[in-house]
Amino acid sequence: MKETAQAAPALAGAAAYTRPAARLLPSPTPESRAFWTGGRDGKLLIYRCRGCGHFLHPPGPACWRCRSTDVGPEAVSGRATVAAVTVNRQPWVPGLPPPYAVAMVELADEPDVRLVTNVVGVAPEEVRVGMEVEVFFEPWTPEGGSADDRIWLPLFRPVAAAGGTDGAW
Amino acid sequence: MSAAGGPFGGKAVITGAGKSQVGRRLGRTGLDLTIEAVTRAIADAGLSVDDIDGIASYPGPGVPDKGFSGADTHQVRNALGLRSRWYLSAMETAGQIGPAIEACMAVTLGLANHVVVFRSVWESTAQATAGGRASVLFGGGELPPHLEYVAPFGALSAVNWLAMPAQRYMHDFGLTREQLGAIALNARHNATLNPDAIYRTPLTMQDYLSARMISEPLCLYDCDVPCDGATAVVISRREAAAGLPRHPLTVESVGTGMFERATWDQRADLTTMAAHDAAATLWERTSLSPADVDVAQLYDGFSFLTVMWLEALGFCEHGRVGEFIEGGERIALTGSLPLNTSGGQLSGGRLHGMGFLHEACVQLWGEGGDRQVPGSPEIAVVGVGGGPVGGAMLLSTR
């Protein structure tokens, strides 16, 4: 993913993101492991079909477009556009207090591939359809897990509000 | 009688319907409620338990969410000593009424004469005893596949998954909260006329607009009310229904399509759902059209899903639902398209799909009491499910 200058000016509406105390963590499968661990190297890894060249998500053993099984994870730019957003106001997960913005973002590399994510670094109410965002990664170790079990959740922040390095928020 | 029409050639009919006690925190077991609904439906059809040679239900065993399923078909078979010539439970089918559609196939093919189809829930008691809504959505351990890509981001509930397309629909087409609120107000008004509904005190637009947000733009009154209860219908082979007390309701068509991947987030057009594919297949299988429909029972697990069904079924153009429902006159009991006449799931209780089929039967039989649609409705449409779940049925008195 692209790095931006440390001194990038804050967007109007920018808000510091504080990592929550808890999240519900995925248990990576052979197919989803790349997606959940690509952040170790700062990469957003999305399955791509080598037959037709299109990306697909969620990852799986075949391309739903051309049915090729020659598929595997590849890094994308990490840039995306907000397609839809909700400000969740209901507490669901202890340690993850509302409000927070849950969004579907469409990848710049393949706009009909959407990821559900949190858009942070901006007040939840300020997240808009069409907002340009970029990925950063939040590492987590499952309870009782070791460093080998770590996963990197891909979160997004407005492009112009980006500052610092991955995971430094 | 239009017995020659539709995918079943008029051979599949509904002969009875029944409902258990429905309420909040009843403390009864799911099987107990299920048996009550099933035996009431059988009696309503004028049949005895020994006449029932088929049984079907959604979702069947294996769903871990507490309260989501009150009983599977084998539990009911065992409890009642049913001799089944055909049976089925399914979750990967055309919505929560999918097993009723399969039952139509079974009676049409002669695999059974009388199939009892049920759906039962005890989500209210489950939430009361398990520690709230969230604990019922995810009880711990490994995230199940349907939560893998959403729960890490705090999107644990379907309200979150649906709030996003609702927000996008508002963004693209200008649907307002006041317009969406007409769905909730209409349901509540009808519930005030239904002694079996859970929430029966009048709801105003001011109440709606000032209610707490759950996941924007959806507020508390956009979400249905978890309940305990079971619903059942009897689907019969027309020839086997001769002499039964009720006027048999013909299943004119069914909507079973799903043309895209079964996801909440990857559909090409975010402002459509599986409902659109189910509706398309419903109409391509019949000579009837949306203009023929006298009463509509459209899923309202969340108010926005009713919006989806209204446009999916062709009652208005894509994107134009807001003006269709604005003010609520068209969808009122006295309007051109009476909608969710029992109070729906928003105010009647989350019977999870089958309640709409039950209410369609009640209306076509003219037994709605204070909430009866005037003018003896002859055609009812039922649309059930949201996101990647959708199934539809078209019933007639003909």
pLDDT digits over B171-230, tens only? 999 999 999 999 999 999 999 999 999 999 999 999 999 999 999 999 999 999 999 999
Q: Residue A58's closest chain B neighbor by CA?
A: B149
The per-residue pLDDT for range B56-90, each reduced to its tens digit, is: 999 999 888 889 999 999 999 999 999 999 999 99
Closest by Cα among B314, B305, B319, B315 to B273:
B305
CB B308 within 8 A of CB B314: no
**Tokens (6 digits) for B47:** 């049949």
pLDDT of the residue at B142? 87
Residue from the list B143, B171, B265 with its beta carbon closest to the beta carbon of A104: B265
Chain B hits for A116, CB-CB cut-off 8 Å, are 149-150, 153, 155, 161, 265
pLDDT of the residue at A22? 96
Residue from the list A27, A84, A117 with its beta carbon closest to the beta carbon of B168: A84
Q: Is the peptide bond before A98 cis (omega within 30 degrees of 0)?
A: no
Q: How high does pLDDT run on average in chain B?
A: 96
CB B342 within 8 A of CB B355: yes
Q: Above pLDDT 90, what percent of chain A? A: 82
Fold classified for B12-138+154-396: Peroxisomal Thiolase; Chain A, domain 1 (3.40.47)
Interchain contact, A83 vs B151, CB within 8 Å: no
CB atoms within 10 A of CB A42: 17
Q: How far is A78 from chain B (nearest CA, A)?
A: 17
Read off the pLDDT band of B286 (50, 70, 90): very high
pLDDT above 70: residue A125: yes
Closest by Cα among B285, B341, B338, B283 to B314:
B283
Task: Of A107-121, A151-165, B78-92, give the lowest mean pLDDT range.
Answer: A151-165
- HSE (CB half, 13 Å, CA atoms) of B56? 29
Question: Where are chain B's structural domains?
Answer: 12-138+154-396
Q: How high does pLDDT run on average in chain A?
A: 90
CB B396 within 8 A of CB B389: no
Q: How far is B186 from chain A (nearest CA, A)?
A: 25
User: What H or E segment, with its residue span, contains residue A135?
Assistant: strand A132-140
Q: Residue A151's closest chain B neighbor by CA?
A: B152
Closest by Cα among B247, B250, B252 to B367:
B247
pLDDT of the residue at B356? 98
- Range list of β-strands (E), A34-119: 44-49, 55-56, 71-76, 79-88, 100-107, 110-118
CB B162 within 8 A of CB B304: yes
CB atoms within 10 A of CB B105: 17
Q: Is B151 on the interface with A (CB under 8 A)?
A: yes
Test the A interface: residue of B164, B221, B271 with most A CBs within 10 Å:
B164
| Spatial distance between the Cα atoms of A13 and A145, rounded to a whole number of angstroms | 37
pLDDT above 80: residue A163: no
pLDDT of the residue at A168? 39
Residue from the list A87, A92, A93 with its beta carbon closest to the beta carbon of B216: A87
pLDDT of the residue at A166? 44
